[in-house]
A and B are shown apart, each in its own frame.
Chain A
Amino acid sequence: MKIAVVGKGGSGKTSVSGVLARSLARSGHSVVGLDCDTNPNLGLSLGVGDLETERLLSLRDQIDEGEQEHAHTWDGILEAYGTDSPDGVRLTVVNRIDNPEPD
């Protein structure tokens, strides 16, 4: 199931997304957090911390600038551009990444 969270900047969209994802994971679901923001901050609301959130941002920038290989499948993206959050939520940052091909 896919859930999109939208709202005006500052409305609490990212905080809500983070808590939503963690709650779902705690009730036994397999959850992926997808950060589609140009300024990706979802990691903070998921509880991965400042440094790791920054690291993912740098990685995203490197990909956008062609300094890193694109992954081409959804699983590949999760693996290469993601990190694990508490409760097993997988977080990945996306922006100008190619659409994945089916596995």
Chain B
Amino acid sequence: MIRIAFAGKGGVGKSSISGSFARLLARRDQPVLAVDSDPLPGMAYSLGIPVDDRPTPDDVVVEGPEGGVRWVLRPGLDAAGFIDSYATPGPDNVQYLQFGNTWGHVSTLQRGQHAWSQVVKEMDPSAWNVVGDLPGGSRQAMFGWAKYADVLAVVVEPTAKSIHVARQLRNISNATWAPAHVVVVANRVDSPSDVERISDALERPVIGVVPNDPLVTEADKLALSPIDHRPGPFVNAVEQLVAVAESNYDLDKRERTNEKP
């Protein structure tokens, strides 16, 4: 199973890539849980799911016992039940959870985050691949959403702004709670020198190179997932990214061979 979260400056293509990744992984007969923690819906579009502004309700969590974890899933609700009740089924049978509340009310987001943390802790690790889209930017708070992630994929374009944000993300990820792997996906690439520039700036493995592809902009304007529009360079590149992830970041393989992450 793969557990990967996509981060990066707003607008670099996180949602397009993460949603497409989830769809393509699911097409390989894998159970996929797609998790969008961005307060503004993005992943739904690239998953091909009608945008649903319906975050999980507040009452999924209740106050925990004295001295213990502050919020726990309400009695009778376990991880499997949570996913069953609140995930929206999408194309290729991707199950989609949206935690953002688009009006930015902090308390609701926090409860959602706690619910999600509990679900991650309790869920059967061999039941789901988890593919997540994080909020844009590098605010610390967003990492509360990424604790499930074994791989943090920082999406970077060959622009100064995107590289600035990516560097901040890379720096924050040195914390002890950070994901085991921090890697880079280069997006909107025109030439090999773009990849070199990104690689030099971030000093992390570039595990995916996604070229500029006008079909993606077309798909965006038509409110279609790039997967459902017309396959082109973008889709091919994300396919390759899925293959790399399956080869290198499969938690089950790692455990079986007892490799250190």
Chain A contact residues, CB within 8 Å of chain B: 8-11, 14, 37-39, 41, 44, 50, 53-54, 57
Contacts and interface: CB of A to CB of B under 8 A. Distances in A.
A9 B164 contact: no
Interface stretch (B6-14, B60-68, B146-154, B229-237): B6-14
24 contacts: A8-B10, A8-B11, A8-B40, A9-B9, A9-B10, A9-B137, A10-B10, A10-B12, A10-B136, A11-B11, A14-B161, A37-B137, A38-B139, A39-B9, A39-B138, A39-B161, A39-B164, A41-B160, A41-B165, A44-B160, A44-B164, A50-B160, A53-B160, A53-B164
Nearest to A45: B161
B137 A38 contact: yes
B161 A41 contact: yes
Interface in B135-180: 136-139, 160-161, 164-165, 168
A91 B124 CA distance: 51
Nearest to B8: A9
Contacts of A50: 160
Nearest to B140: A38
Among B136, B137, B160: residue with most chain A CB under 10 A: B160
A51 to B, nearest CB: 11
Given A9-B10, A9-B137, A10-B10, A39 B160 contact: no
Interface of B: 9-12, 40, 136-139, 160-161, 164-165, 168
Contacts of B40: 8
A54 B10 contact: no
Among B40, B161, B165: residue with most chain A CB under 10 A: B161
Contact of A54 (B11, B138, B164): B164
B212 to A, nearest CB: 14
Nearest to B157: A10
B168 A39 contact: yes
Among A10, A11, A41: residue with most chain B CB under 10 A: A10
B165 A39 contact: yes
B161 A44 contact: yes
Contacts of B160: 41, 44, 50, 53
Given A41-B161, A44-B160, A9 B139 contact: no
Nearest to B161: A41
B138 A9 contact: no
Nearest to B169: A39
A39 B10 CA distance: 10
A36 to B, nearest CB: 12
A37 to B, nearest CB: 8
Among B9, B10, B137: residue with most chain A CB under 10 A: B10
Given A8-B11, A9-B9, A10-B10, 20 more contacts: A9-B10, A9-B137, A10-B9, A10-B11, A10-B12, A10-B136, A11-B11, A37-B137, A38-B139, A39-B137, A39-B161, A39-B164, A39-B165, A39-B168, A41-B161, A44-B160, A44-B164, A53-B160, A54-B164, A57-B164
Nearest to A54: B164
